[in-house]
Structure 1
Amino acid sequence: MATLFLGLNANAARMDMVDVSNNNGYMSAAEYVSMRNEFGVKAVTVKISEGGTYKDPYAASNIANVQAAGLYVNGYHFARYATKAQAIAEADFAGQTAKAAGLPVGAVLATDVESQEANNQSKATNDRNNAAFMKEIQKFGYRADVYTSGSWANNKMTIKGKTGWIAAYPYVVSGKNWYSSNHAWQWSSTAKFRISYGGFDVSQLNSDYYTAGQKSKVKPTNKAAVKANNQKANKNTSKLVASAKWVKETKTYTLKTAVKLHTGASTSSSVITTLPAGTTVKTDQVIIQGGYRWARQPRFNGYGYLATGPASNTLEYVKSGATHTYYTVKYGDSWWTIAQRNGLSMTTLASQNGKSIYTTIYPGQRLVVR
């Protein structure tokens, strides 16, 4: 989806809030300052944890650098719970991890509910589990909320008005203020910022819940960049495209967990089999629909379909086969020059090669840059 920031076109969405995780790599305070000054970002929500054991390795640096940039900081936990007891345990783990990472008391610590575990539960069970998580997280001094997809809201779980952070990605972001009765609407996972590499999740805030009631005075200073992005993304504003399309994607995935293989790209379709963790799956097409990113697997007697992640287009349940782009170091190169040439930070470039920025590199050496 084309990216935009709206400060000039009142009919499109705003980049009020950005959420970041280890997928974005190390983010400097300068990058957050650019988001604030050039694009009007008011708040950043940082991934803290997932399930009962995973701690995001960039949580502490993200929290510190967001605060250094003068932006309001929140956190989120990717939920894996299926029972009330698990929800309480994950809330305790998330709260303790957030405290250790420096998330300030009074910030929002949302539960991100979009996993296969939640999909397997009834609406009543998810409501009970979410309520238990949010009640427990408040014991740490954090404010609570639920993040989920638009297709799950009030379907897989109850999201009342004046609560909730909802994800829904229209092809054309204009003509409608989506989820205006909820706290926030996440409208893209591919937004670009001038000095930051890769795509970002961005949300429009429909209340001041994620800025703790503070009235932000942030206004974009680089209006030319805002206008250019805005015009590019709003070439067609006549209608929203509701129908999803299959896209060619020939890849090999290795499953991180057991995944059901369906007869169609829908959770309501029949299950062919359950593929165990470690299974290698070759796919030929993908589609975003029904709250999931579905991949099609050619089989000897037709096709099988598996959900490779939520509709945010992340590969939550599978990991891609190793395919990298390499760069051969030349005389005079440095970590800085190679990183700049490939749109990376020095820290990210070094870490993805198992090194630090203080490691000496030599002409002829091959480095992973993608």
Structure 2
Amino acid sequence: MTQRTTVIDLASFQSGLTVDNYKAIGAEYAIVKISESTNYTNPYIRSLIDLSAAGGIKGYAFYHFGRFHNDAQAVAEANYFINAAKARANVKPGTLMILDAEIQGMPTSSVITFLDTLRAAGYRTGFYTYKYLLPNFDLEAIHPHMDMFWLAAYLLANGRAEDKNPDFKYFPSTNYVDLWQYTDNLLGYNVDGSITITDNAIKLFNPSTAPAPAPQPKVDQSEPVVNPQTTWTDNLGAVWHAEDGKFISNTALHLRWGALPSASTIAVLPAGSVINYDAWSRGNDFVYVRQPRGNGYGYIAVRNAKTGEAYGKFE
């Protein structure tokens, strides 16, 4: 009989969880976000591992949010994932490394290329997507290239996913599922919760202990050092700086899908809105902050880059 075990996944927006929070959640395993595309590395990897381990997590896997649309991009993102995992979490070959496939237009051939690049480097491979996105992929073709299949499917009640126990009457009846993500708000902690479906899922997590920090190289202090994990350049050429902060608006502001005035609007936030952000960038016209969201990021202009006028206050 398969053991049912709770698994949580952790990204930068869960960096505020405490050891006591993890103990209250009671999960045994965690999947930590390492990277996204080829220009973002989660700045909280180490603290997420250390705090969750102290709170009872006993095994880890890692994931990358894919944004590729062809095989060449898939190889580049897989290598970025591998290098970031080694540098930030000392992830060893044999570890379960997972592709998070949520965007439109991601070819099955490129998914396979990504997974095969991980395998060639010695890692076990996982594939994650939502049930409603499955028609976009050839699961039968992907299956031989993955060691674990992780599927998200929520039973929505009053517009939100169930936050306690999974209801197996609504289990997504799809082939090969090893791990079912059934909620995005486990026990009210704003954490995605999954349940193991097969023993294979449990076996693939790193056993016993949290990954140890990577050895730190000696640095020549005579030269200035730029931390590549806290400053990066995105695909549009904007330079971003990691910063965990809070902004309170004094006027209505547009929350957009991109850090450009021309980017599509997600919502118009009223004056007095509290915006928690994890990075900022100065453009030609505006200073933007990046807001982590459940399905990616939102971007908000918080200051006029030319006059310096802020559209609220920072805390």
Matched with 2:47 is: 61
C-alpha distance in structure 1 between counterparts of 2:67 and 2:94, whole Å: 24
Matched with 2:184 is: 189
C-alpha distance in structure 2 between counterparts of 1:128 and 1:89, whole Å: 15
Matched with 2:211 is: none
Q: Which amino acid aligns with 1:209?
A: N
C-alpha distance in structure 1 between counterparts of 2:58 and 2:81, whole Å: 22
Matched residue pairs, number?
219
SS in structure 2 at match of 1:111: strand
C-alpha distance in structure 2 between counterparts of 1:139 and 1:28, whole Å: 37
Among candidates 99, 118, 136, match of residue 156 of structure 1: 136
Q: Which amino acid aligns with 1:91?
A: A
Output the TM-score relative to the length of structure 1.
0.51
C-alpha distance in structure 1 between counterparts of 2:125 and 2:186, whole Å: 26
Among candidates 251, 254, 259, match of residue 252 of structure 1: 254
Cα shift at 1:57: 0.6
Tell whether the 8 Å contact from 1:145 to 1:165 is kept in structure 2 after alignment. Answer: yes
Uncovered stretches (5+) of structure 2, i.e. residues with no partner = 158-165, 209-251, 270-292, 303-312
Among candidates 319, 325, 335, match of residue 299 of structure 2: 319
Output the TM-score relative to the length of structure 2.
0.59
SS in structure 2 at match of 1:86: helix
Q: Which amino acid aligns with 1:85?
A: A
Aligned in 2, Cα 1:168/1:135: closer, same or farther, shift over 3 Å? same
**Structure richer in strand, relative to its length:** 2
C-alpha distance in structure 2 between counterparts of 1:98 and 1:208, whole Å: 25
Matched with 1:171 is: 156
C-alpha distance in structure 2 between counterparts of 1:58 and 1:141, whole Å: 25
Q: Mapping of 1:2-81 within 5 angstroms? A: 16-36=6-26, 41-68=27-54, 69-81=56-68
Q: Which amino acid aligns with 1:165?
A: W
Tell whether the 8 Å contact from 1:107 to 1:212 is kept in structure 2 after alignment. Answer: no
SS in structure 2 at match of 1:141: coil
Cα shift at 1:73: 0.5
Q: Which amino acid aligns with 2:99?
A: T
1:212 and 2:203 are equivalent in the alignment: yes
Tell whether the 8 Å contact from 2:259 to 2:299 is kept in structure 1 after alignment. Answer: no
Q: Which amino acid aligns with 1:53?
A: N
Could you give the per-residue CA deviations for residues 49-102 of structure 1, whole angstroms, max 9, x where no partner exists?
Answer: 000010001112223344443521011000011110110111011011111122
Cα shift at 1:319: 3.0
Among candidates 126, 136, 146, match of residue 117 of structure 2: 136
Q: How high is the sequence identity, in percent, across the aligned residues?
A: 22
Cα shift at 1:33: 3.7
Matched with 1:341 is: none
Tell whether the 8 Å contact from 1:257 to 1:317 is kept in structure 2 after alignment. Answer: no
Identify which range, 73-82 or 99-108, moves more after superposition.
99-108
SS in structure 2 at match of 1:48: strand
Aligned in 2, Cα 1:367/1:276: closer, same or farther, shift over 3 Å? closer
C-alpha distance in structure 1 between counterparts of 2:124 and 2:72, whole Å: 20
C-alpha distance in structure 2 between counterparts of 1:49 and 1:129, whole Å: 18
Tell whether the 8 Å contact from 2:34 to 2:85 is kept in structure 1 after alignment. Answer: yes
C-alpha distance in structure 2 between counterparts of 1:251 and 1:187, whole Å: 33
Uncovered stretches (5+) of structure 1, i.e. residues with no partner = 1-13, 218-249, 259-274, 285-312, 323-365
Q: Which amino acid aligns with 1:22?
A: S
C-alpha distance in structure 2 between counterparts of 1:138 and 1:86, whole Å: 17
Aligned in 2, Cα 1:317/1:276: closer, same or farther, shift over 3 Å? farther
Tell whether the 8 Å contact from 1:66 to 1:72 is kept in structure 2 after alignment. Answer: no
Aligned in 2, Cα 1:62/1:208: closer, same or farther, shift over 3 Å? farther
SS in structure 2 at match of 1:164: strand
Rg larger in structure: 1
Aligned in 2, Cα 1:257/1:205: closer, same or farther, shift over 3 Å? farther
1:84 and 2:78 are equivalent in the alignment: no
Cα shift at 1:22: 0.1
SS in structure 1 at match of 2:156: coil
Cα shift at 1:184: 1.0
Cα shift at 1:146: 1.0
Among candidates 84, 99, 124, match of residue 97 of structure 1: 84
SS in structure 1 at match of 2:47: helix
Cα shift at 1:185: 1.1
Could you give the per-residue CA deviations for residues 5-51 of structure 1, whole angstroms, max 9, x where no partner exists?
Answer: xxxxxxxxx76110010011244444434433xxxx22100000000
SS in structure 2 at match of 1:88: helix
